[in-house]
Amino acid sequence: HGDGLLRIAVIGTGYVGLVSGACFSEFGFSVTCVDNDQAKIDLIQNGTMPIYEPGLEDLVARNVAASRLHFTTDLGTAVADADAVFIAVGTPTRRGDGHADLSFVYAVAREIAPHLDGYTVVVTKSTVPVGTGREVYDIVAQTNPQADFDVASNPEFLREGAAISDFMRPDRVVVGTMSERARTVIRALYRPLYLIETPIIFTELETSELIKYASNAFLAVKISYINQMADLCEAVGANVHDVAKGMGLDKRIGNKFLHPGPGYGGSCFPKDTLALVKTAEQYNIDIGIVDEVVSYNDKRKNAMAGRVKAALDGVVAGKVIAVLGLAFKPETDDMRDSPSVDIIRELVDAGAQIKTYDPKAMDEARHMLPDSVSYCASAGACINDADAVVIVTEWNEFRALTAAQFIAAMRGHVLVDLRNIYDGAQMRDAGLSYSSIGR
Ligand code: UGA
């Protein structure tokens, strides 16, 4: 390009594509985000984000206004103009066998191939199993033998709810490439991070693809480990937070991701752990640790309804149970694999009447929860006249609720805190029957 400015096309305006595209434009590059869903593109162009992510709406508005960020359904033009094309479409779990479904990624590879114009780096940003990058390379090369391109793998490590700061201030950037030429392009794209001395690790394609899965699975193991320790703490009368603190001060262990809860959910850990197990199976490698964590976490999410039942002395039918928090974690409207779904279904099956409140996820939840569930306008309205309250997601606004408020509003006095956001002694002193995790 005459102006020397690097141009980026991002295919897929889901969570990863939208956040990455907006952040690259904030770095100053010219970014075009492409999606085949015209309605979604229209929505974003009108300033409405299809997902809730703190700071995203402003970031998009600012860069659209500065003409650095564009949205279109015209894949051909965006790809022809681009120096780097990021593939950021979904890789859901394939129905039936647990493998990652790569049909969207491969479809994009076929679709972009004829439009590549001049040297282009095709980058997989979606979480893709080992070997996918080579496959994308073959598809593009076969579809367009004239194309001058390389494939790179650049997994994202964004957490929902903190995605923008995770992109802008990452612990590391991981890039798998096939050539020095591709490395040069990617290095230029992440140059703004050199100022804050972000380590950028260049590896082979396969290694980069595996780093992503190995990292997510390790975090899933860590969470499951502290969840099992929490159960043990309850049995022996220990406090899991002190155990986590005592462990976490050892630098080899670290203090992050040692918060016990109802089991991990979301769009990443459940899907990625399962896909990693499938990859290992395919190569006949024993990764039993991850396998065990997958089934343990499922069991744990189911077991949480049992805790609520036990807190109600086994009498659930006809009881009004208020569920505070539905999203799989705070600051998101994402309901995918959220523990709230399993908990609520089981309590409804047992005859409970469920009222819920979540600051962001209620629209999503309506598609996923039984019809009999009712949705409240506030936490206060939700706990009103309830026999029991269950904290499923640790939204900050729930932390401020006091024992006096619970006592005044509720019909019964059972409080089940699956995120340990309250001081147990305070709640019990006020007369609530309070239970939490691992303490
Ligand atoms: C996760 C990773 O943290 C990101 O690095 C990664 O990029 C992302 O997956 C992905 O693969 O795209 P995310 O799923 O957004 O990010 O959320 P986390 O903050 O990691 O939480 C995942 C789940 O673990 C939540 O259900 C959360 O409640 C649970 N969790 C987390 C715990 O129960 N305890 C903890 O100590 C931490």
**436, part of any domain:** yes
What is the 3 state secondary structure string of 122-177?
A: EEECCCCCCCHHHHHHHHHHHHCCCCCEEEEECCCCCCCCCHHHHHHCCCCEEEEC
Beta strands per DSSP E along 267-336? 320-324
59-107 confidence digits (pLDDT tens): 999 999 999 999 999 999 999 999 999 999 998 888 888 888 999 999 9
CA angle (286 as vertex; 283, 292 as ends), nearest 5: 125
Nearest atom (ligand 1) to Cα of 266? 14
C-alpha 162 chain-centroid distance? 10
Instruction: Give how far the C-alpha of residue 120 lies from the chain's centroid of Cα atoms, to the nearest Å.
Output: 29
Residues 78 and 147 occupy one common structural domain = yes
pLDDT attached to residue 1: 58
pLDDT score recorded for residue 5: 85
Judge if 199 and 213 occupy the same domain.
no
Which of 51, 156, 160, 222 has most ligand 1 atoms within 8 Å of CB, for mutation? Answer: 160
Q: What is the DSSP string of 224-265?
A: HHHHHHHHHHHHHT--HHHHHHHHHTSTTT-STT----S---
Give per-residue pLDDT as tens, 202-211. 999 999 999 9
Among 153, 177, 203, give the residue marking a domain's end: 203
- Residue 223 CA to ligand 1 center (angstroms) comes to 9
Question: Does residue 160's CB lie within 6 angstroms of at least one atom of ligand 1?
Answer: yes
Residue 268 a catalytic site member: yes
CB 154 within 8 A of CB 123: yes
Per-residue model confidence as pLDDT tens digits over 38-53: 999 999 999 999 999 9
Residue whose C-alpha is closest to residue 126's, from 41, 14, 264, 282: 14
Query: Is the CB–ligand 1 distance for residue 269 below 6 Å?
Result: yes
Instruction: Give nearest CA residue, ligand 1 atom 10.
Output: 268
Cα(270) to ligand 1 centroid in Å equals 10
265 lines ligand 1 (CB under 6 A): yes
pLDDT tier, 250 (very low <50, low <70, confident <90, very high otherwise)? very high
Q: Which of 203, 219, 239 is the last residue of a domain?
A: 203
Which of 203, 237, 252 terminates a domain? The answer is 203
Task: Label residues 203-217 b or e (16+ Cβ within 10 Å = b).
Answer: eebbebbbbbbebbb
Judge if 160 and 238 occupy the same domain.
no
Instruction: Tell me which H or E stretch contains 356.
Output: strand 353-357
* pLDDT tens digits, one per residue of 104-124: 999 999 999 999 999 999 999
Same domain, 267 and 172: no
Query: How many separate domains does the chain show?
Result: 2
Residues 48 and 157 in one domain: yes
Residue 186: count of CB within 10 angstroms of its CB: 21
Strand 84-87 relative to strand 120-124, pairing: parallel
pLDDT above 70 for 359: yes
For the chain, give the percent of residues with pLDDT over 70.
100
Q: Are residues 327 and 438 in the same domain?
A: yes
> Is 300 among the domain residues?
yes
- Mean pLDDT taken over the chain: 96
ipTM above 0.85, yes or no: yes
Q: Do 95 and 24 share a structural domain? A: yes
Provide the CA 422 distance to its chain's centre, in angstroms: 25
Mutate which of 159, 247, 255 for ligand 1 pocket (most atoms within 8 A of beta carbon): 159
What are 298's two structure tokens?
Answer: 């499922």
Q: Convert the pLDDT of each residue in 287-333 to its tens digit.
A: 999 999 999 999 999 999 999 999 999 999 999 999 999 999 999 99
Whether 2 is in a domain gets the answer no
Stretch 268-274: mean pLDDT? 94
Beta bridge partners of 11: 34, 87
Provide the annotated binding site.
35, 40, 91, 127, 157-160, 212, 257-261, 265, 271, 329, 336
Alpha-carbon span 126 to 114, nearest angstrom: 21
Residue 104 lies in a domain: yes
What's the confidence (pLDDT) of residue 200?
Answer: 96
* pLDDT confidence of residue 195: 85
Cα 330 to middle of ligand 1, angstroms = 11
Distance from residue 127's CA to the centre of ligand 1 (Å):
14
Asked, for residue 285, whether it belongs to a domain, the answer is yes
Q: Are residues 187 and 248 in the same domain?
A: no
CATH number of the domain where residue 282 is located:
3.40.50.720
pTM score, whole prediction:
0.94
- Judgement on whether residues 240 and 360 belong to the same structural domain of the protein: yes
DSSP string computed for 395-410: -HHHHT--HHHHHHH-
- H/E run at residue 45: helix 38-45
Burial class (CB in 10 A: 0-12, 13-18, 19+), 369: buried
236 and 195 co-located in one domain:
no
- Give a yes or no: residue 15 inside a domain: yes
Same domain, 239 and 280: yes
**Predicted confidence (pLDDT) at residue 228 exceeds the cutoff of 70:** yes
pLDDT of residue 2: 60
Closest CA to 379 of 367, 394, 368: 394
Determine what percent of the chain is predicted with pLDDT higher than 90.
95
Asked if residue 399 lies in contact with residue 421, where contact means CB atoms within 8 angstroms, the answer is yes
Sequence-separated (6 or more) residues with CB below 8 Å from residue 383: 322, 324, 389, 401, 405, 406, 409, 410
Task: Judge whether 151 lies within some domain.
Answer: yes
404 shares a domain with 376: yes
Domain region containing 427: 209-439
Residue 1 domain-assigned (yes or no)? no
Q: Which of 23, 268, 376, 382 is catalytic?
A: 268
